[in-house]
Each structure stands twice: as structure tokens, then as C-alpha cells.
């Protein structure tokens, strides 16, 4: 039905009133399927105002959502755009999503590794904001590599190479883009239902048959406590399964940075070390754990991904993937004009190295951005010469700061104040793998 709006324009007669929907959730009620479908669609097309949706988001944060209600909310977000059909790829498809952390370069070796084992990986990734790095920012440190692909380029590369890491198009879950921007400025980011629906609407719309989630827990993660991480993991696994996507989640530690680098080109170099059969043990451990989950859920249980790292197949897939997107996998990576060494303050065992503080330091050195439109430095970042559990000597290099501009060092050093603890006795590092859902 239509009606006549202000100025004589013909306006759509809406089936619900936004205030009634807000009141329902404010008072602890469950939104009906029809209410959910309408409010997500109406906000996406501008029929519900920002201030009204802000009130509804706050009510959801305070009152929560029932599982069926959250499933419907996520379905409505997916329906706001297109859902990709990957049935023509010719092999199983599996995607991976990390909730973000410091030094988290796992997507880089993981996608070509899984592709080398026979499962196609359509990885639509994002950019960094704040202290957490973005996969696209890392890859753009490779000369010539481009994040934007057309639809035919995306599908052709997925069929021919088996792995794509690129920017998501505007057609996937456009409701999420509007809602995410609003949550960011209204104090409603922390809601587990809203986090879960935001992540899963985009991932389900990508069309992969399998999704493996890496839910980070710790100081450098969004979810600081294991219980909160498990709650989020359970919500996302439930949403994936409800929408026909085989979904598994690993809970992994993020109290310390992953690997020995935090920064764009620095992390690419570390990922290449892993593909060459080396690299830091924790990066190798997590890459293989996620790869095994992706392969098993895809029905490919007779291939050991460790073998594909050892015999060079994963490296071959990396070279093809980078070259297919215009990058030169053999070109030298950018290096920083300036470095500053942070020495160990005492002799003993490194007991703590705070991931969040290292991430903020890398951000202040130029590796991250405060606003989405800010540029990032490809070469900036932090190199870790020791990890918790390692023996260190007073005065020996502990951290190395990389920047294009030496004026950035003071603020980075301030961010690291109190980030390090040295113990007199041996310290057992905390485990990387903390749990699995289901």
C-alpha cells in the first residue's frame, strides 16, 4: 500500500511503527519474525531513523535476544543483499573468520594451505581499525597486489587457484554496514547478539559450505574473558548451523601477540616463513589447527596439511594467489626507515608481554588507523625478540620498533609502559588453544 507523504510525494505505508518495535524489546519482549524482517529492511532503506534504530540497538544490548529471534535477525540482514552461489567452483568451499587480535596473520598462510589440500577458500576480508590489523592492509604491502576484484575475477580465481583473499563487495549484507557504523557511535558494539549477527550475516552471505571461527580471548582480543568468548562462539556456531553452513569455532588465546611481528609487511614476511616450512611455532600451530578443522568439516580428512607446508604445495598456491591479484610474490617487501630497540629491563624469564599494549604501539608507529579513511604504513610495526617463557638478558633486545617517522617512537614507547614482566623463575606460557565449539 502507499500513501501521500509530505510535499505531495507518494510514500510507502509501513506495516509497523518503529516506536512499538522499540517498546517491545525495551520491555523484554521477543520481536516477531515480521517485526524483525520489517525493521531491518526499513532501516536499510531509510524508513527508520538513526535515532530510532539506536534506541532499538541499546534495548537489544540490555535485554538480549532469544536464539530464534537472533536467527531471524541475522536472516533479515543476509536478505538485505545478495547471497553468493559457489556451487560452480567444482570443489568444497570453506571460509575462516577471526574475531581479531594482535599479530594475527593466520589468514595469509591458511588460505593457500587449505587450497593446496583440495578445498577452495573464498576469503572476503577487511581493513584494520585501531590496534587490530587488517588482512587487506597486510597484503597491500606486496607490490602490485590489489584487493578489489570483479565478480568474474573472483569466481575465476577461486576455480583456477582455489584461494581468494579480497575486499567484500557492497552487495553483501548492506544492512550490516549501516548497523555497524551506528553501533560504533552509540555504545552498542559490545552486545553478543549484535556482534554475532554482524559477523555471521556477512560470512553466510559469502556462500561457503563450511565456516571455521577463530574466537580470540585475552587482553588483545575484543572478548577479554573465556566465558564471554564461549558465549559469542556458541551464538555464531548456532547461527551458522541454522542457516545451513557447517560451522565450528576454536577459542584461542590473545593475551600475548601471535607470532613475533605486529605490522603489515612484517606479518607478510612471517606468513611466508610459515609457508616455507618455518615460522614461529604458535603461528604454525594455529594455522594447522584451523586448516584441519576446515578440511574435516569439508569432508577432506585424508590429507595432512602439515605435509602441504613441508613439500612446497602451500607455497605454490600462495604464489599463484598473489600473482592472480597483480602482486609480485618475489618482490622485496617495504622496510621502515627508522628502528628503535627496546632492551630487556632485567635478566630472567619473560613472564608477560601484553598483546593489547603491543597492538597500540604498532598502531601508533603507523601500522594501524584511527579512522577508516586514514592511510597505514606498510613497513611500521613491532618485532618481538622473545615471547613469554623465553629466557632474556638485561640490556639485550626485547622489542624492535619500526616506523617511517622517528617522531612516532615516543608515543609507541608510552603505550608499552608496563607491558613487560620478567620473572626470576621459569614460567610456562599459556596454551594457545583454549577450547572448541561444539
Which listed residue (198, 201, 298, 377) is catalytic? 198
With 0-12 / 13-18 / 19 or more C-beta atoms within 10 angstroms meaning exposed / middle / buried, residue 272 is buried
Three-state secondary structure call for residue 346: coil
Q: Is 72 a catalytic residue?
A: no
Respond yes or no: is residue 352 known to be catalytic.
Answer: no
Active site residue 176: yes
Q: Which three cell numbers stand for residue 176?
A: 550490516
Of 25, 72, 202, 319, which one is the catalytic site residue?
Answer: 202
Catalytic hit among 72, 75, 96, 97: 97
CB–CB of 212/248 below 8 Å? Answer: yes
- Which is catalytic among the residues 105, 138, 183, 230? 183
| H or E, element range at 269 | helix 264-275
Per the CB < 8 A criterion, the answer to whether 56 and 62 are in contact is no
Q: Which three cell numbers stand for residue 17?
A: 511503527
* Catalytic residue flag (residue 387): no
Confirm whether 138 is a catalytic residue. no
Please tell me whether the peptide bond between 324 and the residue prior to it is cis, using omega within 30 degrees of 0.
no
| Residue 78 burial class via C-beta count within 10 angstroms: exposed 0-12, middle 13-18, buried 19 and up | buried
Do residues 377 and 264 touch, judged by C-beta distance below 8 A?
Answer: yes
Q: Grid coordinates standing for 99?
A: 574475531
Catalytic site residue from 95, 104, 137, 176: 176
Contact 367, 377 (CB under 8 A): yes
Specify the pairing of strand 420-423 against strand 381-384: unpaired
Give the count of beta carbons closer than 10 Å to the beta carbon of residue 42: 20
Query: How many Å apart are CA 51 and CA 342, to the nearest integer?
Result: 47
CA–CA distance, 162 with 393 (Å, rounded to integer): 46
Largest CA distance in the chain: 79
Enzyme catalytic residues = 97, 176, 183, 198, 202
Amino acid at each position: 500500500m502507499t500513501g501521500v507523504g509530505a510535499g505531495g510525494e507518494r510514500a510507502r505505508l509501513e506495516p509497523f511503527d518503529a516506536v512499538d518495535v522499540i517498546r517491545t524489546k525495551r520491555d523484554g519482549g521477543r520481536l516477531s519474525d515480521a517485526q524483525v524482517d520489517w525493521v531491518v529492511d526499513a532501516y536499510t532503506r531509510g524508513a527508520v531513523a538513526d535515532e530510532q534504530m539506536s534506541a532499538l540497538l541499546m534495548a537489544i544490548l540490555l535485554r538480549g535476544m532469544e536464539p530464534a529471534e537472533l536467527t531471524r535477525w541475522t536472516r533479515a540482514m543476509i536478505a538485505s543483499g545478495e547471497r553468493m552461489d559457489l556451487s560452480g567452483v567444482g570443489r568444497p568451499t570453506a571460509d575462516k573468520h577471526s574475531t581479531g587480535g594482535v599479530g594475527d596473520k593466520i589468514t595469509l598462510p591458511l588460505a593457500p594451505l587449505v587450497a593446496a589440500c583440495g578445498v577452495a577458500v573464498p576469503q572476503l576480508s577487511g581493513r584494520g581499525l585501531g590496534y587490530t590489523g587488517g588482512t587487506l592492509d597486510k597484503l597491500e604491502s606486496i607490490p602490485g597486489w590489489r584487493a578489489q576484484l570483479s565478480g568474474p575475477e573472483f569466481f575465476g580465481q577461486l576455480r583456477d587457484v582455489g584461494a581468494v583473499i579480497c575486499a567484500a563487495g557492497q552487495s553483501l549484507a548492506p544492512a550490516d554496514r549501516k548497523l555497524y557504523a551506528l553501533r560504533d557511535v552509540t555504545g552498542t558494539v559490545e552486545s553478543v547478539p549484535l556482534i554475532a549477527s554482524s559477523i555471521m550475516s556477512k560470512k553466510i552471505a559469502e556462500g561457503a559450505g563450511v565456516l571455521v571461527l577463530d574466537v580470540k580471548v585475552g587482553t588483545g582480543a575484543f572478548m577479554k574473558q573465556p566465558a564471554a568468548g564461549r558465549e559469542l562462539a556458541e551464538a555464531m556456531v548456532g547461527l551458522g548451523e541454522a542457516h545451513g553452513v557447517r560451522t565450528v569455532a576454536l577459542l584461542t588465546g590473545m593475551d600475548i601477540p601471535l607470532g613475533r611481528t605486529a605490522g603489515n609487511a612484517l606479518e607478510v614476511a612471517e606468513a611466508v616463513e610459515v609457508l616455507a616450512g618455518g615460522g614461529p611455532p604458535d603461528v604454525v600451530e594455529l594455522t594447522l589447527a584451523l586448516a584441519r578443522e576446515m578440511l574435516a568439516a569439508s569432508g577432506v580428512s585424508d590429507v595432512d596439511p602439515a605435509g602441504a607446508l613441508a613439500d612446497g604445495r602451500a607455497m605454490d598456491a600462495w604464489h599463484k594467489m598473489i600473482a592472480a591479484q597483480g602482486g609480485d610474490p618475489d618482490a622485496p617487501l617495504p622496510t621502515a626507515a627508522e628502528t628503535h630497540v627496546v632492551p630487556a629491563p632485567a635478566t630472567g624469564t619473560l613472564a608477560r608481554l601484553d598483546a593489547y599494549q603491543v597492538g597500540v604501539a604498532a598502531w601508533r608507529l603507523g601500522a594501524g588507523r584511527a579512522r577508516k579513511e586514514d592511510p597505514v604504513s606498510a613497513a611500521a610495526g613491532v618485532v618481538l625478540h622473545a615471547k613469554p617463557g623465553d629466557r632474556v638478558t638485561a640490556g639485550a633486545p626485547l622489542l624492535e620498533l619500526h616506523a617511517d617517522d622517528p617522531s612516532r617512537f615516543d608515543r609507541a614507547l608510552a603505550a608499552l609502559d608496563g607491558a613487560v614482566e620478567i620473572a626470576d623463575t621459569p614460567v610456562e606460557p599459556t596454551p594457545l588453544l583454549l577450547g572448541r565449539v561444539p
